[in-house]
Amino acid sequence: MKTIMLVCAAGMSTSLLVTKMKKAAESKGVNADIFAIPASEMSSVLEHKNVDAVLLGPQVMYMKKQLEAELSIKNIPIEAINVQDYGMMNGEKVLDQAFALIK
């Protein structure tokens, strides 16, 4: 099972995208734990949960450099979600983006 963490400003705007990503994973037969959290909770979640990839929502992509330093220690890749895919809530494309980071 792969674990994908989506990070956004409040953890709420990304919940629809998480749902669509889960449906895409299910249709592809992929076992994935996909969840969204606010940026303020990322460090505490990483203390007790193994994560394979982190995707940033457009509203927090400015934090990428800062978060890369923290995540590089744990060898966790991080990438900003494609803005167009986020806006269209394209769960399949965002799921593919996450798996491209993990491989």
Q: Are strands 2-8 and 53-56 parallel, antiparallel or unpaired?
A: parallel
Single out the catalytic residue among 8, 17, 21, 76: 8
Cα angle, residue 78 at apex, residues 4 and 97 outer, rounded to 5°: 60
Sheet holding 53-56, edge to edge: 32-38, 2-8, 53-56, 78-80
46 is catalytic: no
Backbone CA torsion sign across 17, 6, 53, 31: negative
Catalytic positions, written as ranges: 8
